[in-house]
Amino acid sequence: MIREYNNYSLLLHNTFGIDVKATRFVEYDTVDDLRELLTSGRIADPWLHIGSGSNLLFLGDFNGVVLHSHIHLIELLEETTDAVFVRVGSGVVWDDFVAYCVEHGWYGTENLSWIPGEVGASAVQNIGAYGVEVKDIIHSVATIDMNGNEQVYSLQECRYGYRHSIFKEPEMKNCIVTSVCFELSKKACFNLGYGSIAEELQKYPGEPTLATIRQVIVDIRKSKLPDPEVMGNAGSFFMNPVVKRTQYETLIQKYPEMPHYDVNEEWVKIPAAWMIDRCGWKGRAIGAAGVHDKQALVLINKGGAKGREVAALAQEIKKSVFDKFAVAIFPEVKFV
Ligand code: EPU
């Protein structure tokens, strides 16, 4: 089924809680519905496909068509002794899928618990947290283009990098993800090395289980990140920048306590949150746009903020980080 609405409020479709409208909002239930929409010429430029709007900042009304997938299938394609291959529709809420995997005893998604968003967008964005990226469990991604041609991209063809995939590249702008095939392990294989996961697990007696790890991750996230239902936000606003090792060496001499992660011999990743925090932004606000007081990488809507106010705050933050550290930071959030 296809549902279409005119002059439609996007307030409940962006986790920043920005009150803007789309000229048209179109939601579809199946790949066939989407093909019909695309090939009948009902979707003209400008159009935008959204998930749950957890990585978007609307700067104003969207004068065009906003598309949203309601493809809700979860289908077990193949099961071996060690693994399952599961096809999941682009419109499935990501965390519902994580809960489903945990219930079924499938390993791989648990560290990505409680990340807002939907499955289609997870594969575009290569969501990541606590030492895992979604690419680690993706087998392939099914897509459709504006002419209704379907194509499946193998993991390799998706060209995944940190918060990056081929689907973010400009030449792929006419390509819509319809479902994602995940390869999940049936054998316990936990990833407990990141941050305080192992320490937090001590609260649960006995061997770790999928359910306890999910709970620990949810608890850690809830302690650091604001709930979009309570306080508008889009998770990390900026990506963590990668700098040349020579620049890192200059920085670490000046700031010996600076956290960092080696990417390879040439590049080092520096947490943007740490730099923003050192610039004194944590808990500060300009108008209704603010910086979360528990995680400096998260910008918040303190109530009624306009997209442009959040963008202006982001610009100020970017400038002060550059002035202090000579490091350029770039938004993870897409401005529309
Ligand atoms: N830090 C500060 N001040 C702060 C927050 C953090 O100094 O206000 C320091 C921490 O002490 C730590 C470092 O910065 O040394 C990194 O902080 P954290 O571990 O909280 O992670 P992050 O790099 O800020 C990334 C992801 C998050 C993901 C976490 C956990 C990006 C852009 N963000 O954040 O992803 O949940 O790691 O794995 O890579 C998202 O993308 O929306 C997101 C929330």
Decide: 161 in ligand 1 pocket, CB within 6 A.
Answer: no
Residue 236 designated active-site: yes
Measure 51 CA to ligand 1 centroid, in angstroms: 23
Angle between helices 94-104 and 210-224 (to 10 degrees): 150
Beta bridge partners of 231: none
Residue located nearest, by CA, to atom 2 of ligand 1: 274
Q: Please state, in angstroms and rounded to a whole number, the distance separating the CA atoms of residues 306 and 186.
A: 46
Measure 36 CA to ligand 1 centroid, in angstroms: 42
Q: Is 244 found in the same domain as 219?
A: no
Q: Is 62 found in the same domain as 16?
A: yes
Decide: 235 in ligand 1 pocket, CB within 6 A.
Answer: yes
pTM above 0.75, yes or no: yes
Decide: 240 in ligand 1 pocket, CB within 6 A.
Answer: yes
Query: In sequence order, which ranges of 144-209 are alpha helices (DSSP H)?
Result: 197-201
Decide: 283 in ligand 1 pocket, CB within 6 A.
Answer: no
Decide: 295 in ligand 1 pocket, CB within 6 A.
Answer: yes
Give pLDDT tens digits for 271-328: 999 999 999 999 999 999 999 999 999 999 999 999 999 999 999 999 999 999 999 9
> Domain boundary residue among 189, 224, 259?
224
Q: Are 313 and 286 in contact (CB under 8 A)?
A: yes
Give pLDDT tens digits for 149-208: 999 999 999 999 999 999 999 999 999 999 999 999 999 999 999 888 999 999 998 999
Q: Which of 110, 133, 200, 332 is catalytic?
A: 332
Decide: 236 in ligand 1 pocket, CB within 6 A.
Answer: yes
Q: Which atom of ligand 1 is nearest to the CA of 162?
A: 39
Q: Which helix (H) or strand (E) holds 272?
A: helix 272-278
Q: Is 300 helix (H, G, I), strand (E, B) or coil?
A: strand
Above 90 in pLDDT, residue 240? yes
Q: Which of 27, 36, 159, 163 is catalytic?
A: 163
Pair type for strands 47-50 and 62-69:
parallel
Measure 282 CA to ligand 1 centroid, in angstroms: 13
Q: Is 86 found in the same domain as 106?
A: yes
Check which CATH number belongs to the domain holding 256 and give it.
Answer: 3.90.78.10
Q: Is 201 found in the same domain as 79?
A: yes
pLDDT score, position 245: 98
Residue range 91-102: mean pLDDT, rounded:
98
Check which CATH number belongs to the domain holding 209 and give it.
Answer: 3.30.465.10
Q: Which atom of ligand 1 is nearest to the CA of 225?
A: 44
DSSP state of 91: T
Number of domains the chain contains: 3
> Domain boundary residue among 53, 69, 85?
69
Q: Is 254 found in the same domain as 173?
A: no
Q: Is 83 helix (H, G, I), strand (E, B) or coil?
A: strand
**Whole domain around residue 297: which residue ranges?**
232-335
CA torsion angle for 131, 132, 136, 140 (degrees, to 10)? -150
Q: Is 103 found in the same domain as 147?
A: yes
φ, ψ of residue 51 in degrees (nearest 5) = -100, -115
Q: Please state, in angstroms and rounded to a whole number, the distance separating the CA atoms of residues 314 and 308.
A: 10
Residue located nearest, by CA, to atom 3 of ligand 1: 274
Check which CATH number belongs to the domain holding 14 and give it.
Answer: 3.30.43.10
Q: Is 215 found in the same domain as 285?
A: no
Residues 6 or more apart whose Cβ sits within 8 Å of residue 15: 52, 53, 54, 116, 228, 232, 233, 234
Q: Please state, in angstroms and rounded to a whole number, the distance separating the CA atoms of residues 119 and 71.
A: 10
